[in-house]
Structure 1
Amino acid sequence: MAGQGMPMWDGTTRRDVLPAADLAVRDRLADAARDGNWYVVLQRLHAQPALANSPRPGGASGYAALHQAAWHGVSPDTIRLLKGYGAWSSLRASDGSRPVDIATQRGHRHLADLLQPQVHHPLPPQVLAGLQQQLHRLLHYRADGGTGQDPVGRLGLRLPQPEVLTELAEPVLWFPIPGAGGFTVRLEGNELSVASAPGTGGASEERVDRVTANVTSLAEGRSL
């Protein structure tokens, strides 16, 4: 099964695409993190660790639980527990802020070292920026599959940030497209390998494309 056992990039942003029960769970998690109720946050993440990096659907800030923890200036133990559930230190909110940036701005110096991303696969900022630009273009292209419907754009999905991969020991994540397949995104050196699962964009089989900071090479042997 595509994505099984991998960290998941949750791209959901729109409230109207979620079942009512799922939306209620996400709202309870977001409310608890906003209000500093870490018992509820950790209880929810224990049940659904895949939500560790999920912002509130429809929210403007793009804050996930670790951003809120940084804002509140929680104890180091709480940060460790959140990271134990898979919260990413390099995840950027809507304004580009990482948790460490938020903690620093609010004067929570006791969290600075703990929130600093532990980078296993360092890349220059300009390479990360190029990879992200090329990746996002590719995801729109493959998800659309020539139909003109582009579910990535139609659903308003938040697209993966390659920077997150640099802090993962195994730099790979799964990006599902609701009802339309998904992508396995893997960092290999200073390039990305992007595998479209069968069913993505109407394709009958997996396709693997290569992304550099400057160009995307499609599986069909041409550049995007």
Structure 2
Amino acid sequence: MDALKASYVNDIDHLVDAAKTGHWTEVFKRLDAGGRPVANQWRVGGKSWFAPLHHAAWLGAPVDVVDQLIQRGAWKSLRNADGDRPFEIAQKRGHHHLRESLRVRETSEYEQRTFVAWNRHLTELTTERTRGLDPVRYRPVPTELIALEQLESLWFTYPGMYGGFGMSIHKDRLFVESWSRVVGGSGQAHVITERGCVLVDEGFV
């Protein structure tokens, strides 16, 4: 957390506090202001990994609130620290009116095996690419999000890197580009499959 600006952490805290207490007008106001925080943000340093949609599922928010969060980019397939998606949280809490809004498509055994492998290789790649930077406790990015949310790409930063990682799926392979904006020629591109991670390009950016 020390690697992040206090104003950034404060903005996230206000968003999460509003979602946790069901103040949805305030949540939408902050999300519609642009920039950060975003709809899938959880509390920095938090242990539950609850984003606004998880809080909506927990509280049994009206369908309209859930739909508006999704329209603003909230991911239905984002899991909390217990591995539950908003759908599972709503079901456990008895909020069955949210079933259709929060439903996520089922994944095959092949997809599940692939995502597990991708996640492992991505974590290894991230660790290697950030070696030498101050260690940061961060949440690994679940690669299943790209497929289940049908995202063209997914970007995440790493404190101190002054850059980050961009991911996309091409022909059932995970394509990852990483770079630092202040280090010339730092760019690397990797292709991740179930079997491993291969460097395919470097020296750009």
TM norm structure 1: 0.81
Q: Give the number of equivalent residue pairs.
A: 200
Of 203-212 and 94-103, the range deviating more from structure 2: 203-212
Instruction: Check whether the contact 1:49–1:86 (CA below 8 A) recurs between aligned residues.
Output: no
Q: How far apart are residue 123 of structure 1 and its match?
A: 6.1
Aligned to 2:166, which of 184, 187, 191? Answer: 184
Amino acid in the other structure paired with 1:164 = L
Q: How far apart are residue 177 of structure 1 and its match?
A: 1.8
Amino acid in the other structure paired with 1:204 = G
Instruction: Check whether the contact 1:119–1:166 (CA below 8 A) recurs between aligned residues.
Output: no
Amino acid in the other structure paired with 1:91 = L
The structure in which a higher percent of residues are strand is: 2
- 2:144 maps to 163
Matched, 1:105 2:92: yes
- 2:15 maps to 29
After TM superposition, where is structure 1 displaced by more than 6 Å over at least 4 residues in a row? none
* 3-state SS, counterpart of residue 114 of structure 1: helix
Q: How far apart are residue 197 of structure 1 and its match?
A: 2.2
Aligned to 1:48, which of 26, 29, 34? Answer: 34
Distance 1:116 1:185 in 2: 25
Instruction: Check whether the contact 2:176–2:192 (CA below 8 A) recurs between aligned residues.
Output: yes
Instruction: Check whether the contact 2:77–2:149 (CA below 8 A) recurs between aligned residues.
Output: no
- Specify which structure has the bigger relative contact order, considering alpha-carbon pairs within 8 angstroms and separated by 6 or more residues: 1
Q: How far apart are residue 212 of structure 1 and its match?
A: 0.8
Distance 1:25 1:87 in 2: 17
* 3-state SS, counterpart of residue 197 of structure 1: strand
Amino acid in the other structure paired with 1:20 = A
Q: How far apart are residue 118 of structure 1 and its match?
A: 5.4
- 2:187 maps to 206
TM norm structure 2: 0.88
Of 171-180 and 212-221, the range deviating more from structure 2: 212-221
Q: How far apart are residue 220 of structure 1 and its match?
A: 6.4
* 3-state SS, counterpart of residue 165 of structure 2: strand
Write out aligned runs for 1:54-203 (5 A). Answer: 54-117=41-104, 124-144=111-131, 149-151=132-134, 154-180=135-161, 181-199=163-181
Distance 1:48 1:119 in 2: 32
RMSD of aligned alpha carbons:
2.5
Q: Report Cα offsets for 1:133-169 as digits up to 9, x if no partner.
A: 111111111222xxxx245xx1212221101101333
Distance 1:189 1:118 in 2: 20
Distance 1:83 1:185 in 2: 21
* 3-state SS, counterpart of residue 155 of structure 2: strand
Q: How far apart are residue 178 of structure 1 and its match?
A: 2.5
Distance 1:150 1:127 in 2: 29
Distance 2:156 2:10 in 1: 22
Q: Name stretches of at least 5 consecutive residues in structure 2 with no aligned partner.
A: none
Q: Report Cα offsets for 1:67-105 as digits up to 9, x if no partner.
A: 000001111111111011111011111111111110011
Distance 1:119 1:174 in 2: 24
Q: Name stretches of at least 5 consecutive residues in structure 1 with no aligned partner.
A: 1-13
